[in-house]
Chains A and B, each alone.
Chain A
Amino acid sequence: MSYQSIEDIQEQVLEAYRTKVPRKIVGADSKNFYGYKINATPIVIDIKPEIIDYEPTELVITASASTPIADIQKTLAQHQQMLAFEPPDFNNMSTIGGTIACGFSGPRRPFTGSARDYTLGITCINGKGEMLKLGGKVMKNVAGYDASRLMVGSLGTLAVVINVSLKVVAKPAHEISTVIRHDGGSTIDKIKSICNSNKYPLSAVFADDSDIYIRLSGPEAYLRKSVNAIGGEILDHADLFWNSVANQTYKSFNRQLPLWRVSVPPATDTLAISGAQLIDWGGALRWISTEDTADSVRQVATAVGGQAILYKPHDHPDNSLSIFHPLSHGIASLHKKLKLAFDPENILNPGHMYLDL
Chain B
Amino acid sequence: MYTRDELNTLFQKFLPKDAIVAAVEELSAFECDALTAYKQLPQIVLFPETVEQVQKILRFCYQNKIHVVSRGAGTSLSGGALPLAEGVLLSLAKFNRILKIDADNRTASVQAGVRNLAISQAASKYGLYYAPDPSSQIACTIGGNVAENAGGVHCLKYGLTTHNILELKVVTVEGEFLTIGSQGLDSSGYDLLALLTGSEGLLAVILEVTVKLLPKPDAVQVILAGFDSVVQAGSAVAAIIAANVTPSGLEMMDNYAIRAAEEFAHAGYPVDAAAILICELDGASDEVAEESNTVLEILKSYNILELQISKTEEQCLLIWSGRKGAFPAIGRIAPDYYCMDGTIPRKYLAPVLEYISNLSAEYNLKVANVFHAGDGNLHPLILYDANIPGELEKTEKFGAKILEMCVKVGGSITGEHGVGVEKINQMCLQFNTLELEQFHRIKHAFDSLGLLNPGKAIPTLHRCAELGAMHVHNGELPFPDIERF
- Residues of chain A touching chain B, judged by Cβ–Cβ distance below 8 Å, are 55-60, 80-81, 103, 109-110, 113-114, 116-117, 121, 126, 130-134, 136-147, 149-150, 152-154, 158, 169-171, 173, 192, 195-201, 218-219, 221-222, 225-226, 263-267, 281, 284-285, 305-307, 309, 324-328, 330-331, 334-335, 337-338, 340-342, 353-354
Contacts and interface: CB of A to CB of B under 8 A. Distances in A.
B50 interface: no
A132 B438 contact: yes
Contacts of A309: 188
Interface stretch (B191-199, B264-272, B322-330): B191-199
A173 B427 CA distance: 41
Contacts of A341: 438, 441-442, 444-445
Interface stretch (B36-44, B65-73, B91-99, B242-250): B242-250
A145 B185 contact: no
Contacts of B190: 150, 153-154, 158, 335, 338
A117 B149 CA distance: 13
B287 interface: yes
Given A55-B345, A140-B375, 15 more contacts: A126-B438, A138-B343, A138-B376, A140-B372, A141-B343, A144-B427, A150-B195, A218-B287, A263-B186, A284-B185, A285-B186, A306-B183, A331-B178, A331-B180, A340-B445
B102 interface: yes
A222 B287 contact: yes
Interface stretch (B52-60, B307-315, B413-421): B413-421
B411 A146 contact: no
Interface string B98-110: 0000111111000
Contact of B246 (A57, A134, A170): A170
Nearest to A169: B246
Contacts of A144: 419, 427, 430-431, 435, 439, 457-458
B284 A140 contact: no
Contact of B107 (A143, A265, A335, A354): A265
B183 A145 contact: no
Interface string B375-399: 1110000000000000000000000
A337 B180 CA distance: 16
The list of the 3 closest CB pairs from A to B, nearest first, reads: A170-B244, A140-B415, A305-B183
A140 B376 contact: yes
B414 A170 contact: no
Given A144-B458, A324-B188, A330-B176, A265 B414 contact: no
B139 interface: no
B244 A114 contact: no
Contacts of B375: 138-140
Interface in B262-292: 283-284, 286-287, 290-291
Contacts of B344: 138
A265 B188 contact: no
B427 A57 contact: no
Interface in B313-346: 343-346
Interface string B138-174: 0000000000110100011001101100000000100
